[in-house]
């Protein structure tokens, strides 16, 4: 096990993870932030996209250890003053795929 410290959505966390744990797994399983998804298992869909120190990263390809000391923003952290960010709004497009709620365009 390895201990990492990271700030997620403005809150500091210290988490024990296996060295092979992906950032998406740490977010979902250790921090219970389930808005970030593994949608395709190939890193193509963007459902796992988070911001790490302000840069968009596919968290299904990044080890949690690599985020040690970083500031991470997940989809849950996008709201401002209780107002949903457009990325958090449900898709109303009838042709949208099921992973559309995880729009990777930030």
Q: Given this model, what pLDDT does residue 77 score?
A: 87
Q: Rounded to two decimals, what is the model's pTM? A: 0.79
Band of residue 41 on the pLDDT scale cut at 50, 70, 90:
confident
Query: Could you give the C-alpha distances from 91 to 40, 78, 95, in angstroms and in order?
Result: 19, 16, 10
Residue recorded with tokens 């107002």: 83
Q: Please give the Cα distance from 30 to 13 (Å, whole number).
A: 10
């Amino acid at each position: 096990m390895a201990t990492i410290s990271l700030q997620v959505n403005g809150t500091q966390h210290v988490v024990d993870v296996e060295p092979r744990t992906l950032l998406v797994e740490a977010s979902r399983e250790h921090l219970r932030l389930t808005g970030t998804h593994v949608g395709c298992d190939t890193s193509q869909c963007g459902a796992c996209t988070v911001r790490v120190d302000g840069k968009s990263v596919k968290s299904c390809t990044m080890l949690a250890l690599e985020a040690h000391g970083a500031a991470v923003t997940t989809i849950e952290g996008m709201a401002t003053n209780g107002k949903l960010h457009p990325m958090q709004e449900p898709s109303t497009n009838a042709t949208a795929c099921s992973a559309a709620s995880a729009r990777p365009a930030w």
